[in-house]
Amino acid sequence: MAGERLYRLTIHELHERLSRGEVSSQEITEILLKRISEVDPQIKAYLMVAEQEAMKGAHEAAHRIAAGKISPLTGVPLAIKDNMCTQGIKATCASKILEDFVSPYDATVVKNIKEEGGILLGKTNMDEFAMGSSTENSRFTITRNPWNLDTIPGGSSGGSAAAVAADECIASIGSDTGGSIRQPAACCGVVGMKPTYGRISRYGLVAFASSLDQIGPITKDVEDCAILLNVIAGHDPLDSTSANLPTPDYRKALVKDVRGWVLGIPKEFFVEGMDPEVEERVWEGIRVLEDLGAVVKEISLPHTGYAVATYYIICPAEASSNLARYDGVKYGFRAAKSKDLMEMYLETRFEGFGAEVKRRIMLGTYVLSSGYYDAYYRKASQVRTLIKGDFEEALQGCDVIITPTSPTPAFHLGEKVQDPLQMYLSDIFTISMNLAGVPAISIPCGFSSGGLPIGLQIIGRPFEEERIIQVAYTFEQNTDHHTKRPQLT
Ligand code: GLN
């Protein structure tokens, strides 16, 4: 096996090898830890590498495998975004205010992964509290896009997506409030899914905007997405918003057939101002599916133009409330030498939060304040209902909806940091699905002339992740974009 780059394997490929005894869970974990030590100094996808924990998990997995108890995730090393609780390990949210916070318990998603014998390699970088689209809002480090080290990996799950693209893990877990799984997956040329709101437990995910947040997989291919979803989806009594519905076997949706399927193409998503190469690649992708027998139909999501404005009222409103708990008393960081309690609160939050987080807290507090509540928050909630209605109506007349994931390929580091509005527009194609609660996946559909990956987004009806998996799988099995890997030295 010498000379083979085993870190490149997908979950299903690694599973085959583990089952046949061609590699052990300890060997693959060591290979990945070595890979991280070699490439992460350039990429900086990880905030923390949990070597001891990983080797411990690898030994446990080896015992299971020896006892014949291997399941698809047993012995597979994974990375987790740093806004999820991992018992005994830090969960910082890339914020100074949680710099030394050690999770007292495992998030349900992490618990499910461990129960299946999955191995935790470490915690990945992100925008502070998941607020951002480039991972540049991390208080600790800048993550680079493995395809071009001068560009952003996307955000906020930039570390998780970059770690997959750079083969620093077999797959990873991210969270998506307005695009934070799909947009970085698109920027890094990997697969990322935001499942239906309620499909996956949020227990142990640090809350950002609770009515929008959803955890999901970031993987090298669609089959891995289905495998990971099988492990993390399902009802959880610890999260009152998790849906009490049976979970299908998502691998059954790995079917290469879209004949007769109606693909809705919303005209509002193909507008002037978007990068022409993105538009071209996405249309080429749609044509691939059409050639395979799918039917293309123009549809309308008429309230799309209000999505960004609506999101930037609802999301900060919820964030301002969720982040009120970081007061220097209960969690993490506390400012030193304050003369009284009020000064301690003020100083702690002043020093503990970065600029974007403060901006959201102020915006959110403003739109919730009496006198402005009706004009902003209530209005936004009403528009949200209209946006949700757009999807309900459109999805009655088509099987899935197809759009670009992001209006541009990865942009340059520093390009948008001084201009929050420009940064907010990075999510123009992903935000509506969070407002509507519908599932969506981003898959690679080609490259820009500059060699940067471009993502195609497939959106489905609530709790019909199988359909988007089937379309994504069919596309992937008839193209080779997902097999390309960045050249790292
Ligand atoms: N970029 C969006 C924001 O800054 C979405 C972030 C996310 O999905 N966590 O809020």
Handedness of CA 252, 254, 260, 266 (dihedral sign): positive
Distances from the Cα of 271 to the Cαs of 305, 436, 462, in angstroms? 11, 21, 26
Number of domains composing the chain: 1
Q: Which atom of ligand 1 is nearest to the CA of 209?
A: 9
Q: Which atom of ligand 1 is nearest to the CA of 131?
A: 4
Distances from the Cα of 124 to the Cαs of 54, 253, 323, 402, in angstroms? 14, 29, 21, 29
Contacts 24+ apart (CB under 8 A), 34-40: 35/7, 35/167, 35/168, 36/121, 36/122, 36/168, 39/146, 39/166, 39/167, 39/168, 39/488, 40/166, 40/168
**Any domain includes 362:** yes
Q: Which atom of ligand 1 is nearest to the CA of 427?
A: 1
Calculate how far, in angstroms, residue 457's C-alpha sits from the geometric centre of ligand 1.
17
Residue 255's nearest CA partner among 477, 438, 13, 464 is 477
Calculate how far, in angstroms, residue 339's C-alpha sits from the geometric centre of ligand 1.
36
Instruction: Output the CA angle 434-89-197, nearest 5 degrees.
Output: 15
Residues 191, 184 contacting (CB under 8 angstroms):
no
Mutate-to-test residue for ligand 1 from 129, 156, 205, highest number of ligand atoms within 8 A of CB? 156
Amino acid at 91: A
Condensed to tens digits (0 to 9), the pLDDT of residues 456-468 reads 999 999 999 999 9
Q: How far apart are CA 156 and CA 445, in angstroms?
A: 21
Mutate-to-test residue for ligand 1 from 177, 417, 433, highest number of ligand atoms within 8 A of CB? 177
| Residues contacting ligand 1 via CB (< 6 Å) | 130-133, 156, 176-180, 208, 315, 427
pLDDT for residue 1: 46
**Any domain includes 320:** yes
Any idea which residue has 């905007």 for tokens? 209
Chain centroid, CA 427 distance in Å: 13
**Any domain includes 275:** no
Residue 3 has pLDDT above 70, yes or no: no
Catalytic residue among 44, 81, 123, 220: 81
Catalytic residue among 156, 175, 242, 426: 156
Condensed to tens digits (0 to 9), the pLDDT of residues 417-453 reads 999 988 999 999 999 999 999 999 999 999 999 999 9
Residue 212's nearest CA partner among 196, 233, 228 is 196
Mean pLDDT of 402-416: 97
Respond yes or no: is residue 426 known to be catalytic: no
Distances from the Cα of 218 to the Cαs of 244, 250, 355, 371, 417, in angstroms? 24, 15, 28, 42, 25
**Any domain includes 94:** no
Tokens of 125: 């970088």
**Any domain includes 133:** no
Mean pLDDT of 129-140: 98
Q: How far apart are CA 439 and CA 460, in angstroms?
A: 6
Any idea which residue has 């905030």 for tokens? 47
Residue of the nearest CA to atom 4 in ligand 1? 132
Calculate how far, in angstroms, residue 272's C-alpha sits from the geometric centre of ligand 1.
23
Respond yes or no: is residue 156 known to be catalytic: yes
Q: Which atom of ligand 1 is nearest to the CA of 434?
A: 8
Tokens of 19: 């089952």
Number of helices (H) and strands (E) in the chain: give both, helices first: 15, 11
pTM over 0.85: yes
Condensed to tens digits (0 to 9), the pLDDT of residues 322-349 reads 999 999 998 889 998 899 999 999 999 9
Band of pLDDT at residue 255, cut at 50, 70 and 90: very high
**Any domain includes 363:** yes
Residue 232's nearest CA partner among 244, 248, 216, 218 is 216
Respond yes or no: is residue 172 known to be catalytic: no
**Any domain includes 360:** yes
For residue 291, count CB atoms less than 10 angstroms from its CB and return exposed for 0-12, middle for 13-18, buried for 19 or more: exposed
Condensed to tens digits (0 to 9), the pLDDT of residues 178-202 reads 999 999 999 999 999 999 999 999 9
pLDDT for residue 332: 84
Residue 350 has pLDDT above 50, yes or no: yes
Residue 12 has pLDDT above 70, yes or no: yes
Range of the domain at 359: 305-379
Mean pLDDT rounded to a whole number for the chain? 97
**Any domain includes 310:** yes
Calculate how far, in angstroms, residue 156's C-alpha sits from the geometric centre of ligand 1.
6
Residue 391 has pLDDT above 50, yes or no: yes
Calculate how far, in angstroms, residue 129's C-alpha sits from the geometric centre of ligand 1.
9
Strand pairing category for 119-124 and 46-49 = antiparallel
Mean pLDDT of 365-391: 96
Band of pLDDT at residue 2, cut at 50, 70 and 90: very low
Chain centroid, CA 79 distance in Å: 12
Calculate how far, in angstroms, residue 180's C-alpha sits from the geometric centre of ligand 1.
5
3-class secondary structure, 176 = strand
Q: How many CB atoms lie within 10 A of CB 375?
A: 11
